[in-house]
């Protein structure tokens, strides 16, 4: 599944800017993909892109209408439907990461069939993945692993990719979640893959490449998060990373969604992830630490990062605050 670019970003009637997280991700990380935005009455999100009608976007070359906003109550409203059906009629494919699938809407499915357009529901795999064979692939791979879920793994990988491209390095962000897939137009929705094929899906996602090419594989879950650790394990063993980045959010009180579970230390994460990664790649190294310091003042963040850096002997940065340059410096040494 590859989603055809460029996109028209559908912001619908977003009730606040946060609801348009997917659109914001595309705007931030793949601005070239976004020719414009489509906003309905009452929309409170704004990507600072040209507002376009479907016809204007078509004329500007847009191929896919991407639903860049969460819907309310898991229902695709009649108002949305009108736009989506018209978009199909006008020759757009549709792409969505909504829980309720486009393909399950009878009208959208029928119009897509009649017009020959594609409905990309990125929450469900569209590929029959193989069972992992564990064979060494050419090229290099970096994986972000976290002390917990939602600590900035995707952001870290995207920030590193951008920095690497700016330096003329060969690098590809490899999406493993819905948002990442919509941002970049392809990937594996790993949490929806059948257990036996998880590691194989990651191998499929990160095939042989040039010896100096880096795949930046989007991490998921955490080895220490009992709900999702199996997915993280498959990323480590299917990904065969040469380099690991440790990701952390220092103000979190307990594992996300698990009030009874404290967070591991960065040292625990380093030791466990490295041991597991070396099963698949004995040369794997931990090269740096990415800390989400959003909840800290600039001063607190600097002090915290300096402390981690000293303690762990590895570059520790918040890529959102300070850029990913030092993480890329470390990667370039591998």
Q: Give residues in contact with its own copies (CB under 8 A).
A: 131-136, 190-196, 198-200, 223-224, 226-234, 237-238, 255, 257-258, 260-261, 264, 272, 275-276, 279-280
Of residues 127 and 194, the one with the C-beta less far from its own copies: 194
Cβ closer to its own copies: 27 or 225?
A: 225
CB of 206 to its own copies, least distance (A): 13
Smallest separation, CB 218 to its own copies (Å): 14
Q: Cβ of residue 13: shortest distance to its own copies, in angstroms?
A: 29
Q: For its own copies, give the closer residue by CB, 123 or 213.
A: 123
Task: Closer to its own copies by CB, 48 or 136: give it.
Answer: 136
DSSP characters over 25-67? HHHHH-GGGEEEEEE-TT-----SS-B--HHHHHHTT--EEEE
User: Least separation, in Å, of the C-beta of 135 and its own copies?
Assistant: 7
C-alpha to C-alpha distance for 155 and 245, rounded to whole angstroms: 12
> CA triplet 27, 31, 33: central angle to 5 degrees?
105
Answer yes or no: are the C-beta atoms of 201 and 238 closer than 8 Å: yes
Q: How far is CA 189 from CA 94, 104, 271, in A?
A: 17, 18, 27
What string of DSSP letters covers 231-248? HHHHHHHHH--SEEEEEE
Given the complex with its own copies, which of 196 and 298 has the nearer CB atom? 196
Burial of 281 (0-12, 13-18, 19+ CB in 10 A): middle
Give Cα 300 distance to the centre of its chain: 28
Q: C-alpha distances in angstroms, 33 versus 38, 122, 160, 201?
A: 14, 17, 19, 25
**Shorter beta-carbon distance to its own copies: residue 222 or 293:** 222
Sign of the C-alpha dihedral computed for residues 15, 16, 18 and 23 taken in this order: positive
Q: How far is the CB of 264 from its own copies (least distance, A)?
A: 8
Query: Which pair of structure tokens corresponds to residue 247?
Result: 């990701």
Cis status of the peptide bond prior to 296, with omega within 30 of 0: no
In the bound complex, what is the minimum distance in angstroms from residue 120's beta carbon to its own copies? 19
In angstroms, give the least distance from the CB of 148 to its own copies.
Answer: 12
- Quick one: 194 or 295, whose CB is closer to its own copies? 194
């Amino acid at each position: 599944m590859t989603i055809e670019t460029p996109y028209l970003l559908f912001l619908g009637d977003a009730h606040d800017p946060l609801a348009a997280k997917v659109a914001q991700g595309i705007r931030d990380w793949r601005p070239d993909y976004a020719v414009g935005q489509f906003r309905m009455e009452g929309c409170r999100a704004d990507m600072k892109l040209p507002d376009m009608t479907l016809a204007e976007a078509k004329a500007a070359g847009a191929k896919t209408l991407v639903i860049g906003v969460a819907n309310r109550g898991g229902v695709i409203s009649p108002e949305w439907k009108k736009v989506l059906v018209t978009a199909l009629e006008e020759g757009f494919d549709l792409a969505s990461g909504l829980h309720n699938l486009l393909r399950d809407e009878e009208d959208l499915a029928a119009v897509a069939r009649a017009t020959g357009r594609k409905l990309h529901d990125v929450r469900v795999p569209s590929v029959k993945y193989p069972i992992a064979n564990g064979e060494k692939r050419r090229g290099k791979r970096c994986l972000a692993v976290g002390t917990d879920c939602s600590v900035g793994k995707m952001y870290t990988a995207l920030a590193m990719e951008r920095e690497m491209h700016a330096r003329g390095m060969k690098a590809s962000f490899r999406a493993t979640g819905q948002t990442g897939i919509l941002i970049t137009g392809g990937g594996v929705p790993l949490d929806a893959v059948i257990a036996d094929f998880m590691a194989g899906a990651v191998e499929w996602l990160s095939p042989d490449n040039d010896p100096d090419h880096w795949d930046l594989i989007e991490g998921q879950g955490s080895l220490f998060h009992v709900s999702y650790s199996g997915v993280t394990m498959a990323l480590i063993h299917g990904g065969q990373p040469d380099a690991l980045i440790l990701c952390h959010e220092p103000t979190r009180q307990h594992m996300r969604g698990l009030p009874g579970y404290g967070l591991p230390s960065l040292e625990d994460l380093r030791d466990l992830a490295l041991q597991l990664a070396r099963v698949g790649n004995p040369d794997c190294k931990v090269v740096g630490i990415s800390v989400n310091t959003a909840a800290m003042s600039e001063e607190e963040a600097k002090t915290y990062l300096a402390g981690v850096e000293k303690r762990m002997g590895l570059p520790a940065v918040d890529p959102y605050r300070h850029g990913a340059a030092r993480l890329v410096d470390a990667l370039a040494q591998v």
